[in-house]
Amino acid sequence: MPETQMPTARTRLVREPHRAVYDREAVYKILDEGFLCHIGFVKDGQPFVIPTSYGRKGDCLFIHGSAASRMLRGMKEGLPVCVTVTLIDGLVLARSIFNHSINYRSVVILGKARSVEEPEEKLAALRALSEHILPGRWDDVRQPNERELKLTAVLGLQIEEFSAKMRTGPPLDDPEDYSFPTWAGVLPLELTAQKPVSDPNLQPGRETPESLRSYSRKG
């Protein structure tokens, strides 16, 4: 399949185009740091936006859920979808309320998902999703059995039509406001893991895996 030329008419940024990014590797970096997306679609004239986890392997984004899910059933039917991922990097505090902003990185992917049905491919997709969220966990736990696989729907969305948008840096005030007597700057924000909390029914002597002790979304 030939590479889609970026941007397309649907993904070209109109407002603040200087913040646009159409580079595939930059988009993958954002996707790999996140693991929660919002999927928008229209079913019978009603718009829906559903949050769900995802995993990326190569040029494909995988999502999963209950086989009874309205969203996944609709996507299996070939409904067009819009997938968004947003990472918040900081609050941008200007001298005027009007010029306050947020430093962020976001991705929008448009397309139609396909249902992953073949058992080996489905298992590989679920592994990719698990490893995207928590590397090493798949090998530490029981694998899905046949019944669980039947109850789980897995869909893959090729990352072909996409764009990213980013804001970085300090506040941009109006020239006359730079002398206003208040603090201005950026309050950095990031997602950080806290100390793991063991299950009360954990077997005695079972230690917390290193993958949890050192967990981070920053590479």
From first to last of its 219 residues, the chain has per-residue pLDDT tens of: 456 677 888 988 888 888 888 899 999 999 999 999 999 999 889 999 999 999 999 999 999 988 778 778 777 778 899 999 999 999 999 999 999 999 999 999 999 999 999 999 999 999 999 999 999 999 999 999 999 998 999 999 999 999 999 999 999 999 999 999 999 999 999 999 999 999 999 999 999 999 999 999 885
Q: What is the pLDDT of residue 1?
A: 42
State the Rg of the chain over Cα: 21
Dihedral of CA 118/154/31/135: which sign? negative
SS3 content of the chain, % helix, strand, coil (to 5): 25, 35, 40
Q: Which of 2, 56, 52 is nearest to 29 (CA)?
A: 56
Contacts of 82 by beta carbon, 8 Å cutoff, 6+ apart: 39, 40, 41, 108, 109, 110
Residue 159 · residue 3 · CB < 8 Å: no
Q: Report domain extents, the chain.
A: 17-174
> How many other CB atoms are found less than 10 A from the CB of residue 149?
15
Topology adopted by domain 17-174: Pnp Oxidase; Chain A (2.30.110)
Q: What is the pLDDT of residue 216?
A: 92
Q: What is the pLDDT of residue 67?
A: 79
Q: Which of 72, 104, 71 is nearest to 89 (CA)?
A: 104
